[in-house]
Structure 1
Amino acid sequence: MEFRLPTTATAPFCPSEVQGSIEVSPRAPFWKKFWQFAGPGLLVSIGYMDPGNWATDIEAGSRYGYSLLFVVVLSSLAAIALQCLSMRLGIVTQRDLAALSRERYSRPVALGQWVLAELSIIACDLAEVLGGALAFHLLLGCSLMVGVALTAFDTLIVLGLKGKNFRSLEAIMAGLIATIGLGYVIQLALVKPHWPAVFAGAVPSWHAISSVEPLYLAIGILGATVMPHNLYLHSSIVQTRAVKRDPASLKQAIGLSRLDTIASLLIALLINAAILILAAAAFHANGHTQVTDIEQAYRLLAPIVGTGAAAVLFAITLLASGQSSTFTGTVAGQVIMEGFLQMKIPCYQRRLITRVLALIPALAGVALLGNGAVGKLLVASQVVLSLQLPFALWPLIRMTNDRALMGEFVNRLPTRLLAWFLFVVISAANLWLVWQTFSGN
């Protein structure tokens, strides 16, 4: 029996209410069709540039220069492959990963998946709270405790989006991503990286990770890259496009959505690479090889680069990163709750519940550990995400391999082999990262 709470003007956050809401012109020229399908990939890409990724990229650049840049590249390519599976599942079945999991697994298993998915949302929101709080601390000079409290007010921003259509949300996300990207373009122009070394670092090298410390950091980058809630999110928001159900239309929709996914996640790749390149050029090249947290990076940027503008831009991009991730976390939370529980609540209530659950560990950590809490809690949030990831990957790969469900759009043999290879590598890397974290190594 379906249980629904009363809803009031939840669009654009309730996926079922915007399904098929964006018209697609079948006879439009290619560029116009692509424009109509562009958007879901941008929302997903934000999860790959949230504050949780910053710490590993900054430490990698500071300690090892450009040599671990290839890890960022390969991790992002793996994310593209998995997000394309999620996108295809949603377009072909017209159901998201959470709803399909509820239908195909027993109730206890589905409820367990729901709990883990909710934990991943809270862990991501914790990273966003910490990133936003640190940005307020750096820009306004307030204490971290006050910065954490200020992040609670983003619920008002979510309320302000009530009644907007899904395309408006995509446009806002595009604006925030443009802010982050422009900020890093200016910062890289100020620090002047050695570009031949940058391109050399993008080439895979076993020698770069042949010892324990860089290997651990490389696995940390991989573990922080693929976000489990993004797999649920993507399979839902691609359904906002009104696509005919004949094979030719579905094939075209998958192709255009694939281009959107690849282009959007390449932007996320460039931004994550820019963080590492910035750290390598500003810190490693100047002998600062132990910069391991975001605030330390901010404090060192101005004296090294010779202008305070670089540090201010760094803080602004951090704030934009946290705020953009807030919106996608809200949508992902709605997808997970509606898919697993068939339950809807107004978007501001969903945002408020998630933010309160993230504020509790953030406030407690800052109160007990002071400014040192940010780095430790960011690591903890990535560990939680690492533990949850296999439970989202397994059903995704199994479902897209199921011919009865996917029909002619089932995974081909090369895609199956690649998907299971990524599952094994990412799951093993995450488990090793979690074991190293809890063993104190």
Structure 2
Amino acid sequence: MKNYLKELGPGVLVSAAFIGPGTVTACTLAGVNFGYSLLWALILSIFSCIILQEMAARLGVVTQKGLSDNIRAELKKPVWRFLALALIFSAIVIGNAAYEAGNITGAVLGLQAVFGEQQFRLLNFDVNLWSLAVGAIAFAILWIGNYKVLEKIFIALVILMSLAFIITAIVVKPDIAEILNGFIPNNISTGILGVIALVGTTVVPYNLFLHASLVSEKWKEKKYLKTAKIELIIAIVLGGIVSMAILVCGAASGLDGVNNAVDLAEGLKPVFGDFASWFMAIGLLAAGITSSITAPLAAAYVVKGCLGWQTDLKSVKFKAVWAFVVILGVFCSSLKIQPIQLIQFAQIANGILLPVIAIFLFWVVNKTSVLGNYKNTLTQNISGFIVIAIAIFLGAKSIYTVL
């Protein structure tokens, strides 16, 4: 067990990245609006996430390069390389900068649920003190620039988040028979938007870049491929269980008119006391902080790969990228600015990017020149094809929703 715990890291960061405020809200609303009936969609989400992230991890360990580095190397024609890298750069860097405000705000909602709102006046603006505090925490953790330290911090936050949501799910005393029925797809068309939301918040484009880079930082030899795969599966399944726990809380609450996890926490208070609301708030805080750290980190890795930088976590250029994302997020969150146009652009770009990256990943992990004997097997190709079909559907829906 001690040896296994030493190998925890990249997979945990991936699960921490996808369980952000957006996932918490999507799972909460799915539970409130559709009861337990969409639990099967989370199984689909976990399956899809494991398939794509395993390919990214294998690519990172074998090539010792990130996904964007491999894209630069494999797209030989300058025009195609420029278009691909421009799309990736726009979607991940600008997209993550836009979403960072939401990540920080999610953590702030958790703090406000426990400690209340704290504001101060600055140049005729009401500035949220909690937004500055969360941003400072994210900045300080990233500034350390030590991968092993980052791992330990994330593992602690993920354990805290997992315990918070799972304990809340137990406290609300759900109906076990209804939970089991929720794993059987019934009347899919009724909750199709909920299904899209659940899969879309779990299968995240930037996680593919983040994971490939992180495994190349941690494991330098191919003999660790099995370890990386096992660690990934355990971490993502744990993340899926946390998502299910959040959905169960929403379903068991019996509430109407819930817009986010804080509303759910407040709604649970009269029935289950402060325990449920406290655990829900702590879980949301941990989810917000982890996402507010992983989003800037992923953006920095993408820029590093797109521009061909030979740098490490402590380099000035690398720090400048994630610092820009964090500072923009803090600015928008603290002043309650909703960067709608940026977010809409990010949604469209990510809607295009998810299937494109999934297809590229599928293509590159089938190349003998890149992975040799570690290229995809027939089973992996069939699974990958199914996930790519899901990615195309999600991407088209994302673009259609915005437009």
Of 168, 183, 188, 1:209 maps to 188
SS of 1:131's partner is helix
How far did residue 220 of structure 1 move? 1.5
SS of 1:411's partner is coil
SS of 2:117's partner is coil
Distance 1:177 1:412, change over 3 A: same
Of 267, 272, 287, 2:243 maps to 272
What's the counterpart of residue 70 of structure 1? Answer: 40
Q: Distance in 2 between matches of 1:190 and 1:415?
A: 39
What's the counterpart of residue 39 of structure 1? Answer: 9
Of 269, 288, 294, 1:322 maps to 288
Q: Distance in 2 between matches of 1:270 and 1:230?
A: 19
Distance 1:159 1:433, change over 3 A: closer
Please say which of residues 292-301 and 398-407 is displaced more in the overlay.
Answer: 292-301
Of 303, 308, 312, 1:337 maps to 303
Q: Distance in 2 between matches of 1:301 and 1:311?
A: 6
Distance 1:166 1:412, change over 3 A: same
Q: Distance in 2 between matches of 1:377 and 1:362?
A: 14
Could you tell me which amino acid in structure 1 is paired with residue 72 of structure 2?
A: R
What's the counterpart of residue 114 of structure 2? Answer: 139
Could you tell me which amino acid in structure 2 is paired with residue 96 of structure 1?
A: G
Asked if 1:228 corresponds to 2:205, the answer is: yes
Asked if 1:180 corresponds to 2:175, the answer is: no
Alignment check: 8 A CA contact 1:136 1:147 kept: no
SS of 1:142's partner is coil
Distance 1:168 1:258, change over 3 A: same
Q: Which runs of 5+ in 1 are unaligned?
A: 1-30, 245-249
Asked if 1:240 corresponds to 2:217, the answer is: yes
> CA offsets, 1:116-168, max 9 Å, x none?
22133224423212202322332232168967553244454333564563222
How far did residue 254 of structure 1 move? 1.1
How far did residue 382 of structure 1 move? 6.0
Q: For residues 25-64 of structure 1, what are the structure 2 equivalents within 5 Å?
A: 34-64=4-34
Q: Distance in 1 between matches of 2:144 and 2:195?
A: 43
Q: Distance in 1 between matches of 2:228 and 2:56?
A: 11
What's the counterpart of residue 114 of structure 1? Answer: 89
Of 177, 190, 198, 1:196 maps to 177
Q: Distance in 2 between matches of 1:312 and 1:51?
A: 16
Q: Which runs of 5+ in 2 are unaligned?
A: 120-124, 310-314
SS of 2:316's partner is coil
Of 321, 328, 332, 1:350 maps to 321
What's the counterpart of residue 394 of structure 1? Answer: 359
Could you tell me which amino acid in structure 1 is paired with residue 168 of structure 2?
A: Q
Alignment check: 8 A CA contact 1:134 1:295 kept: yes
Distance 1:147 1:87, change over 3 A: farther
What's the counterpart of residue 6 of structure 1? Answer: none
How far did residue 299 of structure 1 move? 2.1
Identity %: 24
Q: For residues 359-398 of structure 1, what are the structure 2 equivalents within 5 Å?
A: 359=330, 361-362=332-333, 366=336, 385-398=350-363
Could you tell me which amino acid in structure 2 is paired with residue 229 of structure 1?
A: Y
Q: Distance in 2 between matches of 1:124 and 1:91?
A: 29
Could you tell me which amino acid in structure 2 is paired with residue 65 of structure 1?
A: G
Could you tell me which amino acid in structure 2 is paired with residue 134 of structure 1?
A: L
Q: Distance in 2 between matches of 1:427 and 1:128?
A: 25
Distance 1:378 1:184, change over 3 A: farther
TM-score (normalizing by structure 1): 0.80
Alignment check: 8 A CA contact 1:155 1:348 kept: no
Alignment check: 8 A CA contact 2:169 2:245 kept: yes
Q: Distance in 2 between matches of 1:291 and 1:163?
A: 38
Could you tell me which amino acid in structure 1 is paired with residue 372 of structure 2?
A: G
Could you tell me which amino acid in structure 2 is paired with residue 61 of structure 1?
A: G
Distance 1:116 1:367, change over 3 A: closer
The alignment's C-alpha RMSD in Å is 2.8
Q: Distance in 1 between matches of 2:163 and 2:338?
A: 36
Q: Distance in 1 between matches of 2:224 and 2:189?
A: 43
How far did residue 435 of structure 1 move? 1.3
Could you tell me which amino acid in structure 1 is paired with residue 229 of structure 2?
A: R
Distance 1:188 1:39, change over 3 A: same
What's the counterpart of residue 170 of structure 1? Answer: 151
Of 116, 127, 130, 1:150 maps to 130
- Residue correspondences, number: 387
What's the counterpart of residue 105 of structure 2? Answer: 130
How far did residue 180 of structure 1 move? 0.8
Distance 1:425 1:437, change over 3 A: same
